[in-house]
Structure 1
Amino acid sequence: MGTPDQTSGESVADRDAAIQAHNAALHAARHADVAVRELSGIAGLRAVSDLFAAVWGRTPEGVPAPSELLRSLQHSGGCVTAAVDHSNRLVGAAALAVAAPAGTTYSLIAAVAPGLGDRGIGYAVKQHQRWWALDHGYHTMAWTFDPLVARNARFNLVKLGAEAGGYEQAFYGRGSDEINGSDETDRLVATWRLDARRTVAASTGPPAEPERPPEPAAPLASGPDGQPILYQDETGRWCRVPHDILAVRRSEPDVASDWRLAIREIFMQAFADGFTATHVTRSGWYRLTRAGDR
């Protein structure tokens, strides 16, 4: 980790946050049995580009992140992070850009090699990104994610401790890759406050498991599968997404589109009403709360 400059105006709290993040990143890498580092050199960036293509697929426009683009990202102050195993095989990677407003970074893309999704590699990569950002004076990271992919949503909001308070309709237009299919690509906007208490807590131990929604309560809406999709109680609102939307997209694309429209309506109304998505249960229920109720 870089040594803080005593004359730079960096506070003790900033240094402490970076040290905590560095220790958390090292622990996560050990747990995943990988080495995580910032890349330099075009050969490594080409390998990262190939990994992104293996995970996200290719579109008529080409690979998701060409190596030339990743090199330019580095040159402009961003970071490309790679995780390698003991045989020096690339098993995970992510690209991070400097963003506005000041003190913010933006996570452009991240991936773990196919078949290795349960080893904690993605978590180790994100913790390394967190440390890098804090060590360079950034305190917030933002990115977008598909609200219908429950497992990814749980990783972002529970495992990392991010929150989501914005919704973008058709963010990338219509999908044209192997994961998104051909439907509109709606996205939730995640905000990860890198030195917040919930982020620190998530980096140091198992995440707190949110309670299940109040099953006996009358649902406010039902989903395309005919089951309850929205509840509200004294703690906030609860919104359910499918267990495996990727399978639904492959087998029943029209039903997947119905899910997207239903979830779009629920989230946009919730955000307009002042709610933020803060948790996702293992069964795919988002918990949405107002700031004063957390």
Structure 2
Amino acid sequence: MYDIREITTMEELLQVQALEKIVWQVTAPVPTHQTLTALKNGGIVIGAYHQQTLIGFSYGFAGFREGKSYLCSHMLGIHPDYRSQGIGALLKHKQKEVAIIRGYEVMVWTFDPLETRNGYLNLTKLHGVCDTYIENCYGEMQDGFNKGLPSDRFEVNWHITSPYIQQTQTFNHNITAVFQIAHTKSHHLYVQKAHPVIATGEYYSVPVPKDFQDIKAQDAALALDWRLQTRAAIQNLLAQDYVAVAVKQHTAMNDYIFVPKHQLEI
């Protein structure tokens, strides 16, 4: 149904630029001279096409940290008319295939932890691992998705040559929620109480609203409270050597699942 292939030409990169404007509601997308230069120096751009029209893309460039190279997967965008159809996973798997051929062993990218649609793809479907939380990663962003809140981000590490990403994830432990959740008079979820975390080896969950953009559009103060509450809880878990490994989906909220890092076979 969809054609997933590598993008290599300037004409194709101009199509990526046009789609970027639609996805993030921006007027100044990444310049094509930058994306073309990245392609010539270890970068990878993958496109998803439907009837010869670009409807999704992923863009990554070469990264280097602590003596090791990796692919920094900077952007993944899907046209609004084609979301929730599995295209993001198709793009990532093609990106992984090309990255392994190029010699990469790890892919790294960031996403907003309050956008659990991305979290479900990155952790549950792709088996990425989050062990880093970055406060206000990009400063005050002005696009439609991010405007008005600190741009906090989870950093995903996708160990593309590790057996871990092929393993079936099971959560047989008892899972303790770090938040007690209640509803406002307008029926939005809020954190009524935060519970302490004790590093005893048990699993923890961090509940997050399923539709954060709806809360943000209707109650800016509540949206900021969710940002600050989840920031504190996640940083506390990471400081005690927990990592986020999955998102469990529910009706009105989703749960990030945290496990002790030493339990992972990566």
For this structure pair, what is the TM-score category when the shorter chain's length is used for normalisation?
A: 0.7 to 0.9
1-structure distance, mates of 2:109, 2:17: 19
Q: Tell me the TM-score normalized by structure 1.
A: 0.79
Q: Does 2:244 align with 1:277? A: yes
- Encode CA deviations 1:5-36: one digit per residue, 9 max, x unaligned: xxxxxxxxxxxxxxxxxxxxxxxxxxxx2111
Any conservation in 2 of the 1:165–1:277 contact (CA below 8 Å)? yes
2-structure distance, mates of 1:290, 1:251: 36
Q: Which amino acid aligns with 1:71?
A: L
Q: Which amino acid aligns with 1:88?
A: Q
The one of 188, 192, 205 equivalent to 1:238 is 205
- Encode CA deviations 1:245-293: one digit per residue, 9 max, x unaligned: 1111111111101100001101111111111111110121111111334
Once the two structures are TM-superposed, the CA of residue 175 in structure 1 deviates from its matched residue by: 2.3
2:245 alignment partner, SS class: strand
* Aligned position for 2:62: 98
Moved more, 147-156 or 99-108: 99-108
Any conservation in 2 of the 1:163–1:190 contact (CA below 8 Å)? yes
The one of 77, 86, 89 equivalent to 2:53 is 89
- Percent of residue pairs bearing the same amino acid type: 24
- Encode CA deviations 1:162-184: one digit per residue, 9 max, x unaligned: 00000100001112111112111
Moved more, 35-44 or 88-97: 35-44
* Aligned position for 2:230: 263
Change in Cα spacing, 1:43 to 1:259, as seen in structure 2 (3 Å) is: same
The 4+ residue runs of structure 1 with deviation greater than 3 A are 207-214, 219-224, 226-234
Change in Cα spacing, 1:67 to 1:44, as seen in structure 2 (3 Å) is: same
In the alignment of these two chains, the number of paired residues is: 250
2-structure distance, mates of 1:155, 1:197: 18
Write the mapping of 1:136-151 to structure 2, written as runs, cut at 5 A: 136-151=102-117
Q: Tell me the TM-score normalized by structure 2.
A: 0.86
Change in Cα spacing, 1:208 to 1:290, as seen in structure 2 (3 Å) is: closer
1:195 alignment partner, SS class: coil
Q: Which amino acid aligns with 1:290?
A: P
2-structure distance, mates of 1:51, 1:139: 29
1:143 alignment partner, SS class: strand
* Aligned position for 1:253: 220
Write the mapping of 1:224-235 to structure 2, written as runs, cut at 5 A: 225-227=190-192, 235=202
Once the two structures are TM-superposed, the CA of residue 68 in structure 1 deviates from its matched residue by: 2.1
Q: Which amino acid aligns with 1:189?
A: E
The structure in which a higher percent of residues are strand is: 2
Q: Does 2:16 align with 1:48? A: yes
2-structure distance, mates of 1:177, 1:113: 16
* Aligned position for 2:73: 107
2-structure distance, mates of 1:45, 1:211: 45
* Aligned position for 1:286: 256
Q: Which amino acid aligns with 2:230?
A: I
1:199 alignment partner, SS class: helix
1-structure distance, mates of 2:108, 2:235: 19
The one of 70, 73, 76 equivalent to 2:35 is 70
Any conservation in 1 of the 2:178–2:204 contact (CA below 8 Å)? no
2-structure distance, mates of 1:120, 1:293: 29
2-structure distance, mates of 1:40, 1:99: 19
Any conservation in 1 of the 2:173–2:202 contact (CA below 8 Å)? no
Change in Cα spacing, 1:225 to 1:127, as seen in structure 2 (3 Å) is: same
2-structure distance, mates of 1:140, 1:226: 35
Once the two structures are TM-superposed, the CA of residue 81 in structure 1 deviates from its matched residue by: 1.0
The one of 145, 170, 173 equivalent to 1:179 is 145
Change in Cα spacing, 1:231 to 1:241, as seen in structure 2 (3 Å) is: farther
Q: Does 2:122 align with 1:152? A: no
Q: Which amino acid aligns with 1:237?
A: Y
Q: Does 2:97 align with 1:161? A: no
2-structure distance, mates of 1:97, 1:69: 10
Q: Name the Cα RMSD after superposition.
A: 2.2
Q: Which amino acid aligns with 1:46?
A: L
Once the two structures are TM-superposed, the CA of residue 38 in structure 1 deviates from its matched residue by: 1.3
Once the two structures are TM-superposed, the CA of residue 82 in structure 1 deviates from its matched residue by: 0.8
Once the two structures are TM-superposed, the CA of residue 200 in structure 1 deviates from its matched residue by: 2.5
